[in-house]
Amino acid sequence: MRRVLYRVPEAMELLSMSRTVIYEQIRAGRLRTVHQGRARLVPASAIADYVALLERESTGRAA
């Protein structure tokens, strides 16, 4: 079964980013999260969307 939610440390590893950068991207609205109780989780779809955003930015295409 494929995972659909990741904790922030797992998202850090998947995206090869530091905790600080992950939270900066969350605050900027570039990386979506959800809350389950007190836990902040990153949906797998949000990770895919973020990677697609980075790809668009690297090619100079607007969203």
Percent of the chain with pLDDT over 90: 89
pLDDT of 63: 53
Which pLDDT band, with edges at 50, 70 and 90, does 19 fall under? Answer: very high
pLDDT tens-place string over residues 26-44: 999 999 999 999 999 999 9
pLDDT of 61: 62
Length of the chain (residues): 63
Q: Work out the mean pLDDT of the chain and round it to a whole number.
A: 94
Give, for 6, the enclosing helix (H) or strand (E): strand 5-7
DSSP 11-58: HHHHHT--HHHHHHHHHTTSS--EEETTEEEEEHHHHHHHHHHHHHHH
Model-level pTM?
Answer: 0.86
